[in-house]
Copies of this chain bind each other. A is one copy, B any other.
């Protein structure tokens, strides 16, 4: 490994001066600077990152905490998050280390080991609702962190999340405007905060218009094609109680929903209107369904920069309570909604 000393030795100057030349300090003669730069190129010098870190008192490393038991069908989303964050932090000369949260009884003890040993400046916590105790621990230890997504309580910690309530509101408003009254809701399980938020968006819109919500049209479960299909079959079991529109949590679920409708011989939007939210993934082509689904979309990609920025500020000691951002979804105009067939 080539060091500043090596270069100094070779050029007959002190390491200090080499450092200055490389650091772009003004008080270095042009001649010296030139020779240093040449030598650096020739010898292939690279600053020793460990020395820099020791000097700076920072590791330049952030931890990426991901729960061991991630939703199986969400693997492409999780991967998108991991890779997206790695790239974003890399731009900022920050390394991202993977911390897998032990599935079995994550205790304060395992956290401690995680944080002491990882020796990172801060953490990004993915899917924080998977382990609320973790956030409490981090806050108590005043370890800088930002979450992607939210758990129920967000007071005083930094997060970046999609505005899922707006997602629910946009879809519900569109459907209600068209005259739909029996709107089904197919989304993630009870402990999914994002699904909860979208449902509350729907409820709010209905309430504001004096419409009542039918609990029997709410289907929550795993975000798999299978569950989407099963939910549809269940929804249309009794034709008298069937919905005229369906709001779906994401495109995986929607794929199952559309398959179910097809199996039942129901046309979209002729018989049923369908809206879905699309977490646009940069690394995956958009799922193509027929007809094109109306609904909402949000580019995940937007989040990475915000998360990296927030974490940087949190590490710099800024009050994390102010570092919160909701990403607004955009409405997507497809061809899967129409006024209800029966008035």
Residue of B nearest to A281 (CB): B72
Complex: how many Å from CA A279 to CA B98? 23
Residue of B nearest to A98 (CB): B86
Are A82 and B98 in contact, CB atoms less than 8 angstroms apart? Answer: yes
* Interface residue tally on A, bucketed by range: 35 or more
Q: Which residues of B contact A96 (CB under 8 A)?
A: 97-98
Are B93 and A95 in contact, CB atoms less than 8 angstroms apart? Answer: no
Are A72 and B284 in contact, CB atoms less than 8 angstroms apart? Answer: yes
Q: Which residues of B contact A48 (CB under 8 A)?
A: 54, 119
Complex: how many Å from CA A82 to CA B59? 22
Known: A50-B53, A87-B100. A69 touches B283 (CB 8 A): yes
Are A75 and B76 in contact, CB atoms less than 8 angstroms apart? Answer: yes
Mask for A59-88, Cβ within 8 A of B = 1, else 0?
Answer: 101001010111010011011001100110
Question: By DSSP majority rule, is chain A's interface helix, strand, loop, or mixed?
Answer: mixed
Known: A54-B54, A119-B49. A79 touches B75 (CB 8 A): yes
Nearest Cβ distance between residue A178 and chain B, in whole angstroms?
Answer: 32
Residue of B nearest to A51 (CB): B54
A272-299 residues with Cβ-Cβ distance < 8 A to B are 283-285
CB of A137 within 8 Å of the partner chain: no
CB of A35 within 8 Å of the partner chain: no
Nearest Cβ distance between residue A66 and chain B, in whole angstroms?
Answer: 7
Complex: how many Å from CA A69 to CA B283? 7
Q: Which residues of B contact A116 (CB under 8 A)?
A: 46
Mask for A108-129, Cβ within 8 A of B = 1, else 0?
Answer: 0000000011110000000000
CB of A203 within 8 Å of the partner chain: no
Task: Write the residues of chain A forming the contact surface with B, with a CB cutoff of 8 angstroms.
Answer: 1, 46, 48-51, 53-54, 57, 59, 61, 64, 66, 68-70, 72, 75-76, 78-79, 82-83, 86-87, 90, 93, 95-100, 116-119, 283-285
